[in-house]
């Protein structure tokens, strides 16, 4: 039986942390937690998972199996997430036995694009023009008001480009609506942005705040391909982005880590694209390049410990390793490891499917551009033949 703590009590090393979800984010969280002397339990519908391979206990159960979620929460000191598509009923069930951080209300807002955009707009945060769409007629009318091109997205259950379709003309509306196969969606005006940037930030139980600065993100097929830290942006953009991130975490009363993804226009205007109430792919560089990683920061926040320094020790870049790299056989790990300023992270996934995130490479260098070149060169080396 887990020990019950008052809401302001810190959860100290030796306690057990519960993670809903079992992918690579949970894996790196578990590594940080084990290093600091905590135990980790994970629950997801799968077994032999990236998180389960590191955790003390892996429980295989559906997120909507509320009895299993209650039993899971009964045996941990705090519950957190590495996967946000968990129902409000599940978070309510967990909260009967352990604090849930970030709170279920944060998850409820950020896991649904309409609720998220409504929250951001109502709170005065800058977002792309958008409209709610619940039928083909509504989609066609919205296109008439927002113009084309535009992007149609499902209201829920979307990530890495899933559940969205770019519409170049009104004539494509019917096909786009049928493709999404949904009863509720959001249409967003197309933004001719200069670059995509993000801020991964943390808020402690005491309201303290820390972020990892502004990083630049490049995508391929809607999946993050390369992150460079710090981003090559003006000081005003850095200040504005971190101020917006801080205000969002404050407004949502986040206890934990949250990533704010932005479009940056050619006029240096920031528009909030999406929120992720957990560590984020664009923060993976912090595992090697910062005094405190985003995963340790998540631990510190949810356990009521002081937040750590996010100082960037050297400019860094992160390149994702997708399952496509395995199409010609096992990648040449030795070739990538010959780069002295590169760190290799693999997630323990056995099935290398195209588009599936299997790992990442982090490179440190004297400049962000040099780090980016090294991260990409090391990834390219994985395709070299022989030793």
Q: Give the tens place of pLDDT for each residue, 327-344.
A: 999 999 999 999 999 999
Domain spanning 193-381, CATH architecture: 2-Layer Sandwich (3.30)
Q: Is 46 exposed, middle or buried (0-12, 13-18, 19+ CB in 10 A)?
A: middle
pLDDT in tens, 137-189: 999 999 999 999 999 999 876 555 567 889 999 999 999 999 988 889 999 99
Residue 233 has pLDDT above 60, yes or no: yes
Q: Which of 92, 83, 155 is nearest to 118 (CA)?
A: 155
CA atoms of 378 and 163, how far apart (whole Å): 32
State mean pLDDT over 9-33.
97
pLDDT at 209: 98
pLDDT in the model for residue 143: 95
**pLDDT at residue 375 in the model:** 98
Can you name the CATH fold of 129-189? Answer: Dna Ligase; domain 1 (3.30.1490)
User: For residue 205, what is the DSSP state?
Assistant: T
Report the pLDDT averaged over residues 20-49.
97
- Report pLDDT digits (tens) over 273-293: 999 999 999 999 999 999 999
* pLDDT grade for 11, boundaries at 50, 70 and 90: very high
CATH topology of domain 16-100: Rossmann fold (3.40.50)
Domain range summary for the chain, segments of one domain joined by +: 16-100, 129-189, 193-381
The pLDDT of residue 4: 46
Strands (E), the chain: 16-20, 39-44, 57-60, 78-81, 130-133, 150-154, 164-167, 185-189, 193-203, 209-220, 223-229, 256-265, 270-276, 316-322, 342-346, 357-364
Work out the pLDDT band at 5, boundaries 50, 70, 90.
Answer: very low
pLDDT band at 7 (very low <50, low <70, confident <90, very high): low
For 372-387, give the secondary structure using H, E and C: HHHHHHHHHHCCCCCC
pLDDT of residue 145: 95
| Tokens 């003006």 sit on residue | 234
Q: What is the mean pLDDT of residues 115-137?
A: 95
Q: Percentage of residues in the chain with pLDDT exceeding 90?
A: 89
């Amino acid at each position: 039986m887990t020990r019950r703590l008052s809401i302001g009590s810190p959860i100290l090393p030796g306690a057990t942390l519960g993670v809903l979800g079992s992918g690579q984010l949970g894996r790196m969280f578990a590594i940080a937690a084990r290093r600091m002397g905590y135990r980790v339990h994970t629950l997801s519908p799968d077994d032999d998972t990236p998180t389960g391979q590191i955790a003390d206990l892996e429980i295989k159960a559906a997120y909507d199996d509320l009895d299993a979620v209650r039993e899971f929460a009964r045996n941990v000191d705090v519950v957190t997430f590495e996967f946000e598509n968990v129902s409000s009923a599940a978070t309510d069930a967990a909260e009967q036995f352990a604090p849930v951080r970030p709170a279920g209300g944060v998850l409820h807002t950020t896991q649904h694009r309409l609720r998220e955009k409504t929250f951001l707009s109502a709170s005065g945060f800058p977002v792309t023009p958008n409209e709610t769409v619940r039928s083909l007629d509504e989609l066609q009318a919205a296109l008439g008001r927002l113009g084309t091109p535009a992007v149609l997205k499902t209201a829920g259950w979307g990530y890495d480009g899933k559940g969205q379709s770019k519409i170049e003309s009104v004539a494509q509306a019917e096909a786009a609506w049928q493709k999404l196969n949904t009863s509720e969606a959001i249409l967003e005006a197309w933004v001719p942005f200069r670059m995509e940037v993000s801020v991964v930030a943390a808020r402690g139980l005491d309201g303290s705040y820390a972020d990892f600065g502004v990083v630049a993100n490049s995508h391929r097929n809607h999946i993050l391909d390369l992150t460079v830290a710090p981003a090559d942006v003006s000081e005003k953009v850095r200040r504005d982005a971190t101020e917006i991130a801080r205000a969002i975490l404050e407004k949502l009363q986040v206890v934990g880590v949250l990533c704010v993804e932005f479009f940056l226009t050619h006029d240096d205007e920031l528009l909030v694209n999406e929120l992720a109430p957990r560590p984020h792919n664009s923060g993976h560089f912090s595992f090697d390049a910062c005094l405190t990683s985003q995963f340790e920061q998540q631990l510190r926040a949810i356990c009521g410990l002081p937040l750590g320094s996010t100082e960037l020790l050297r400019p860094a870049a992160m390149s994702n390793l997708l399952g496509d790299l395995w199409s010609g056989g096992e990648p040449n790990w030795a070739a990538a490891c010959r780069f002295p300023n590169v760190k290799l992270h693999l997630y323990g996934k056995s099935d290398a499917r195209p588009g599936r995130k299997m790992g990442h490479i982090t490179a440190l260098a004297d400049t962000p551009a040099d780090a980016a070149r090294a991260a990409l060169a090391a990834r390219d080396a994985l395709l070299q033949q022989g030793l």
